[in-house]
């Protein structure tokens, strides 16, 4: 495979992973602003890829203890549930102010 083909293959795989992550129901809670302020990642997609989550199946199969350890080491949170709850609350507050939440 030539260099250009390798790069295109990597881009294609990255796009597939990002598209697959969109199928996870809560993914939209994690704005880039939230991620930048609370983690060492620019976006939730980068975080999920680092953890090894590439789609809903890998999310369901991940070892919770390992996942919590990564969250504790790379974010401002002690575990995944705390991170998810904080992101959800922030998402709700921002969208409630905009009138998007009933």
Q: Per-residue DSSP letters for 1-18?
A: --HHHHHHHHHHHHHHHH
Range of the structural domain that residue 88 is part of: 3-98
What stretches in the chain show pLDDT beneath 50? 102
Residue 42: the pLDDT is 94
Residue 56: the pLDDT is 84
Residue 55: the pLDDT is 82
Among residues 61, 85, 57, the alpha carbon closest in space to that of 71 is found at 85
Could you give the number of structural domains in the chain? 1
What is the three-class DSSP state of 39? strand
Among residues 51, 45, 56, the alpha carbon closest in space to that of 13 is found at 45
Residue 92: the pLDDT is 87
């Amino acid at each position: 495979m030539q260099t250009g083909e390798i790069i295109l293959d990597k881009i294609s795989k990255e796009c597939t992973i990002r598209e697959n992550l969109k199928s996870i129901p809560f993914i939209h809670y994690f704005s880039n602003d939230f991620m930048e302020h609370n983690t060492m990642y620019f976006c939730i997609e980068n975080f999920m890829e680092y953890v090894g989550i590439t789609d809903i199946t890998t999310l369901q199969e991940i070892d919770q203890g390992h996942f919590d350890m990564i969250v504790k080491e790379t974010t401002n949170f002690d575990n995944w549930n705390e991170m998810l709850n904080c992101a959800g609350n922030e998402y709700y507050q921002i969208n409630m102010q905009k009138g998007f939440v009933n």
